[in-house]
Structure 1
Amino acid sequence: MTKSRTSVLIVGAGPVGLALAGDLGWRGDACTLIERTDGAISAPKMDMVGIRTMEHCRRWGISDWVSHSPYPRDYPQDNVFLTSLTGYELGREAIPPKNLEKRPPQSPQNRERCPQDMFDPILTRFVRQFEHVDLRYRTELVDFGERDDGVVATLRDHAAGRDYQMTADFLVGTDGGSSAVREKLGIGMSGQPVLTYTTNIIFRCPDLPELHDKGRAYRFIFIGPEGTWLTIVAINGADRWRMSIVGTAEKKTFTEEEVKDLIRRAMGKDFDFEILTIVPWVRRELVADSYGTKRVFIAGDSAHLMSPTGGFGMNTGIGDSVDLGWKLDAMIRGWGGADLMRSYEIERKPIAVRNVSESSGNLKRMLSSRDRKPPAEIFGDSEAGRQARKEFGDWYAEQMRREWFTIGIHLGYRYENSPVVYSDGTPSPADEIATYTQISRPGSRAPHVWLADGSSTLDLFGRSFVLLRLGRDAPDAERFLRAAKARNMPLDVQVLDDEEACKIYQYRLVLVRPDGHVAWRSDNLPKDAGEILDVVRGARSSAVNERNASRVA
Structure 2
Amino acid sequence: MTSPNTQQSAVPVLVVGAGPVGLCLAIDLALRGVPTTVVDRSDGSIVFPTAESINARTMEHFRRFGLAEKLRDEGFPPDYPRVVRFVTRVFGSELVSFARPSNRLQPIESESFSPEGMLWCPRFWFEPMLRDRAVELGVSIRWNTECTGFEEDNDRVVATLHSTVDDTTETLEATYLVGCDGASSTIRRAIDVDYEGSFAEGANLSVLIDCAAILEDNPHGAATQIYPVCGSQRIILSAMDGMARWRVTVPLAADESPDLDAVLADNLGREVPYQILDSRSWTGHSVVAEKYRHGRAFLAGDSAHLNWPQGGHGMNTGIGDAATLSWMLAAMVQGWGGPSLLDAYETERRPVAQWTVAISQHNVGTQQRLPLPTDLT
Classify the TM-score, shorter chain. over 0.9
1:41 aligns with 2:46: yes
Percent identity, aligned pairs only, is 35
1:162 aligns with 2:168: yes
- Equivalent-residue separation in structure 1 for 2:76 and 2:367 (angstroms): 26
Alignment of 1:300-379 (within 5 A): 300-369=301-370, 372=371, 374-379=372-377
SS of alignment partner, residue 254 of structure 1: coil
Shift of 1:66: 1.2
Count, aligned residues? 369
1:189 aligns with 2:192: no
- Provide Cα deviations, 1:339-391, integer angstroms capped at 9, x if missing partner: 1111100010001111111111111121122xx3x233111xxxxxxxxxxxx
With over 3 angstroms needed to count, the CA separation of the structure-2 counterparts of 1:70 and 1:260, relative to structure 1, is same
Alignment of 1:18-33 (within 5 A): 18-33=23-38
- Equivalent-residue separation in structure 2 for 1:106 and 1:182 (angstroms): 37
With over 3 angstroms needed to count, the CA separation of the structure-2 counterparts of 1:253 and 1:136, relative to structure 1, is farther
1:103 aligns with 2:110: yes
For 1:202, the equivalent position in structure 2 comes to 208
Shift of 1:16: 0.1
For 1:221, the equivalent position in structure 2 comes to 227
Give the partner amino acid of 1:375.
P
SS of alignment partner, residue 322 of structure 2: helix
Alignment of 1:238-317 (within 5 A): 238-247=243-252, 250-254=253-257, 258-317=259-318
CA contact (8 A) 1:75 1:97 kept: yes
CA contact (8 A) 1:20 1:322 kept: yes
Shift of 1:61: 1.6
For 1:529, the equivalent position in structure 2 comes to none
- Equivalent-residue separation in structure 2 for 1:26 and 1:334 (angstroms): 17
SS of alignment partner, residue 237 of structure 2: strand
Q: Which of structures 1 and 2 has the bigger CA Rg? A: 1
- Equivalent-residue separation in structure 2 for 1:205 and 1:4 (angstroms): 50
Using structure 1 for the length normalisation, give the TM-score. Answer: 0.65
- Provide Cα deviations, 1:478-537, integer angstroms capped at 9, x if missing partner: xxxxxxxxxxxxxxxxxxxxxxxxxxxxxxxxxxxxxxxxxxxxxxxxxxxxxxxxxxxx
* Equivalent of residue 148 in structure 2, options 142, 152, 155: 142
Which consecutive residues of structure 1, in runs of 5 or more, have no partner in the other structure? 380-553
CA contact (8 A) 2:72 2:104 kept: no
- Equivalent-residue separation in structure 2 for 1:345 and 1:295 (angstroms): 13
Shift of 1:22: 0.6
- Equivalent-residue separation in structure 2 for 1:210 and 1:197 (angstroms): 31
Shift of 1:283: 1.0
- Equivalent-residue separation in structure 1 for 2:257 and 2:261 (angstroms): 10
With over 3 angstroms needed to count, the CA separation of the structure-2 counterparts of 1:138 and 1:81, relative to structure 1, is same
SS of alignment partner, residue 246 of structure 1: strand
Which consecutive residues of structure 2, in runs of 5 or more, have no partner in the other structure? 1-6
Using structure 2 for the length normalisation, give the TM-score. Answer: 0.94
SS of alignment partner, residue 61 of structure 1: coil
* Equivalent of residue 125 in structure 1, options 132, 143, 146: 132
CA contact (8 A) 1:187 1:289 kept: yes
CA contact (8 A) 2:51 2:122 kept: yes
* Equivalent of residue 235 in structure 1, options 210, 234, 240: 240
Shift of 1:197: 0.7
Give the partner amino acid of 2:345.
Y
Give the partner amino acid of 1:252.
D
Shift of 1:225: 6.3
CA contact (8 A) 2:185 2:303 kept: yes
- Equivalent-residue separation in structure 2 for 1:7 and 1:25 (angstroms): 11
- Equivalent-residue separation in structure 2 for 1:3 and 1:165 (angstroms): 9
The structure, 1 or 2, with the larger RCO (C-alpha pairs under 8 Å, 6+ apart) is 2
Shift of 1:210: 1.1
- Equivalent-residue separation in structure 1 for 2:8 and 2:17 (angstroms): 20
- Provide Cα deviations, 1:438-480, integer angstroms capped at 9, x if missing partner: xxxxxxxxxxxxxxxxxxxxxxxxxxxxxxxxxxxxxxxxxxx
Shift of 1:207: 4.2
Structure holding more strand per residue? 2
Shift of 1:208: 2.5
CA contact (8 A) 2:122 2:240 kept: yes
Give the partner amino acid of 2:133.
F
Give the partner amino acid of 2:374.
A
With over 3 angstroms needed to count, the CA separation of the structure-2 counterparts of 1:99 and 1:182, relative to structure 1, is same
